[in-house]
C-alpha cells in the first residue's frame, strides 16, 4: 500500500479538464495538493509566488484530468488474454472461459492476474477499478499492493467454483471479506451477481436486501445479448430488467453492465430508477454482442460510465481507447454526429464512473476538497500537433501511450510513463518471474480443450 505524503505538491499543467459539468477547460492554472487532497487552484504565477517551498511538477505540454474510473473489469482475466478470440459470448463462456477457469483459477491465479491488470491500468491512467471475479480478497490484496483503488465485487453465482460452493456461500464469504477491509480508504465494495441467467430469483432477492441494508451498489451483466433477453422471456416471461425490477433490484444502486439490448421501455425504467450503465464497447464489438444505444441513455438522463471488461474479451485494459470507440459508435448508432461529445465522454471516464460507485464526493473530478487522483496527458508529440482543442484530442487522438504521470491521493504512482515506487518495481519483477508458469499451464489446458473439441 502506498504511503501518503505530507508535503505540498504544486502541479503546473498547460490545461486542466476538471470534469465538473459545465465548467470550461482551464489554462495556465495550478493545482495545489496537500495531504492527498486538492486544496487550491489558481493562476500559476500566483501559485509559484505563494508556495515557493512546494514541490513543483512542470507539465508544460500536458492536459491534467481526473483519474480514470474503470467501471467494469475482471482484472484477474488478464492471465486469460487472447484465449477466446473470435467466438460469440455463449461459446466464449461455455466452451473456452468456464472450462479454463475450472482448471486454473486459484488464489495465486487471481493475485497474479489482478496484479498484472493493476500495473497495466495504472500506466494507462486508470486510478479506480470496479472488479468482479472469484477470490476477491486476492484481487484486493494485489491491487492495493500496486496502489490502485478498487471497488471489489462480491461475486454471486449459482454454480460452484474453487472459491465457493453456492450462492449462499458466495454471499457469506463476501460479507466477511467486506468486514475485513472496511478500514482501507482505497477499498470499497459492490454486490456482484454475475448475470440474470446465472443467478436464481432467491439469490437475487438476497442481493437486493443486502444492497438496501448496507447501501452497496449492485454490479451485474445485463441485457448483454439478444439471446439473454430471449431466454429470459422463455423461462420467466419477463425481460431481464423487468425480472430484476420484480425482485427489488432496479434502483439508484444498480449498475447495468453492457446494456446493449435495452428497448425504449427498458431505458425509461432505468432512467426513472436513476440506475447506471457500464458501457464496454470493445468487448461488445469483439463478442458481436451489439451496439449499446448510448445517445438514448444520455438523452433519458441515465448516468453512463466506461469499462474495459476483462482482457479475455477486449484484449487490452485501455480506457482511453474505449472512450474513442464509444464516442464514434454512439454517433453512428444514433445517426447524429453530435452524440456523446467529448465533454460527455470525459464525464463517463471519470465522474460518471465515480457516481455509479457512490464515490463522487471523493473522486471523479478536479475540485477543492476532493482526493487528488490525477492523470497528466502528454500532448507534446507530433501525433498530437497541432492541438487546438485538448479535450477533443484526449478523446479522438490520445491513447494510454500519452499518459505520462499518475497520482492517487496525491501520491505519484507513474512518473514519465514508468512506475515510481520501489514496491511497484518489485511487484512487476515478481510478476515477470511467474508469468511463464501461467503461460505453460494455459497452453497445456488449451491443448487439452482443443483435443476434446476434435474428438
Per residue of the chain (455 residues), what is the pLDDT tens digit? 444 445 799 999 999 999 999 999 999 999 999 999 999 999 999 999 999 999 999 999 999 999 999 999 999 999 999 998 998 888 888 888 999 999 999 999 999 999 999 999 999 999 999 999 999 999 999 999 999 999 999 999 999 999 999 999 999 999 999 999 999 999 999 999 999 999 999 999 999 999 999 999 999 999 999 999 999 999 999 999 999 999 999 999 999 999 999 999 999 999 999 999 999 999 999 999 999 999 999 999 999 999 999 999 999 999 999 999 999 999 999 999 999 999 999 999 999 999 999 999 999 999 999 999 999 999 999 999 999 999 999 999 999 999 999 999 999 999 988 888 767 778 888 888 889 989 999 899 988 888 776 44
Domain 8-66+364-419 class, CATH top level: mainly beta
DSSP 3-state assignment of 402? Answer: helix
DSSP H helical ranges for 278-383: 281-286, 294-300, 319-334, 342-347, 353-356
Residues of the chain with CATH 3.20.20.140: 68-356
Question: Whole-angstrom Cα distance, residue 38 to residue 388?
Answer: 27
| Residues counted in the chain | 455
Q: Homologous superfamily of 68-356 in CATH?
A: Metal-dependent hydrolases (3.20.20.140)
Question: Whole-angstrom Cα distance, residue 281 to residue 308?
Answer: 8
Write phi, then psi, for 94 (nearest 5 degrees): -70, -40
Kindly give, in sequence order, each residue whose CB lies less than 8 Å from that of residue 426, ignoring residues fewer than 6 positions away.
Answer: none
CA distances from 265 to 277, 289, 319 (A): 15, 20, 30
Residues of the chain with CATH 2.30.40.10: 8-66+364-419
Amino acid at each position: 500500500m502506498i504511503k501518503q505524503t505530507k508535503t505540498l505538491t504544486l502541479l503546473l499543467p498547460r490545461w486542466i479538464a476538471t470534469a465538473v459539468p459545465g465548467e470550461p477547460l482551464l489554462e495556465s492554472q495550478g493545482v495545489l495538493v496537500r495531504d492527498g487532497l486538492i486544496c487550491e487552484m489558481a493562476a500559476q504565477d500566483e501559485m509559484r509566488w505563494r508556495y515557493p517551498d512546494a514541490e513543483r511538477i512542470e507539465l508544460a505540454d500536458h492536459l491534467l484530468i481526473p483519474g480514470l474510473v474503470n467501471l467494469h473489469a475482471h482484472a484477474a482475466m488478464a492471465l486469460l488474454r487472447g484465449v477466446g478470440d473470435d467466438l460469440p459470448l455463449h461459446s466464449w463462456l461455455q466452451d473456452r472461459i468456464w472450462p479454463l477457469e475450472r482448471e486454473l483459477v486459484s488464489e495465486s491465479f487471481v493475485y497474479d492476474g489482478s496484479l498484472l491488470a493493476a500495473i497495466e491500468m495504472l500506466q494507462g491512467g486508470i486510478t479506480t477499478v470496479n472488479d468482479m471475479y472469484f477470490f476477491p480478497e486476492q484481487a484486493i490484496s494485489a491491487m492495493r499492493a500496486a496502489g490502485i483503488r478498487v471497488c471489489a465485487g462480491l461475486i454471486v453465482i449459482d454454480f460452484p467454483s474453487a472459491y465457493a460452493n453456492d450462492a449462499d456461500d458466495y454471499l457469506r464469504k463476501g460479507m466477511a471479506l467486506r468486514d475485513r477491509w472496511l478500514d482501507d480508504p482505497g477499498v470499497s465494495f459492490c454486490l456482484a451477481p454475475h448475470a440474470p441467467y446465472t443467478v436464481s430469483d432467491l439469490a437475487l432477492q438476497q442481493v437486493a436486501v443486502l444492497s438496501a441494508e448496507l447501501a452497496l451498489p449492485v454490479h451485474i451483466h445485463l441485457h448483454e445479448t439478444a439471446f439473454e433477453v430471449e431466454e429470459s422471456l422463455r423461462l420467466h416471461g419477463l425481460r431481464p430488467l423487468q425480472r430484476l425490477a420484480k425482485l427489488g433490484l432496479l434502483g439508484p444502486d444498480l449498475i447495468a453492465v453492457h446494456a446493449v439490448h435495452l428497448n425504449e421501455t427498458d431505458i425509461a425504467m432505468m432512467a426513472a430508477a436513476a440506475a447506471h450503465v457500464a458501457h464496454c464497447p470493445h468487448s461488445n464489438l469483439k463478442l458481436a454482442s451489439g451496439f449499446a444505444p448510448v445517445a438514448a441513455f444520455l438523452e433519458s438522463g441515465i448516468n453512463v460510465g466506461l469499462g474495459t471488461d476483462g482482457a479475455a474479451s477486449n484484449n487490452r485494459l485501455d480506457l482511453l481507447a474505449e472512450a474513442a470507440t464509444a464516442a464514434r459508435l454512439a454517433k453512428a448508432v444514433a445517426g447524429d454526429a453530435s452524440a456523446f461529445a467529448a465533454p460527455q465522454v470525459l464525464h463517463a471516464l471519470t465522474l460518471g464512473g465515480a457516481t455509479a460507485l457512490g464515490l463522487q464526493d471523493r473522486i471523479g473530478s478536479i475540485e477543492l476538497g476532493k482526493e487528488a487522483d490525477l492523470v497528466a496527458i502528454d500532448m507534446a508529440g507530433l501525433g498530437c500537433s497541432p492541438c487546438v482543442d485538448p479535450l477533443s484530442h484526449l478523446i479522438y487522438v490520445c491513447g494510454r501511450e500519452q499518459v505520462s504521470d499518475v497520482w492517487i491521493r496525491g501520491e505519484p504512482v507513474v512518473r514519465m510513463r514508468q512506475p515510481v515506487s520501489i514496491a511497484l518495481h518489485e511487484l512487476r519483477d515478481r510478476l515477470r518471474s511467474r508469468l511463464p508458469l501461467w503461460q505453460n499451464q494455459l497452453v497445456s489446458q488449451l491443448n487439452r480443450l482443443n483435443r476434446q473439441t476434435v474428438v
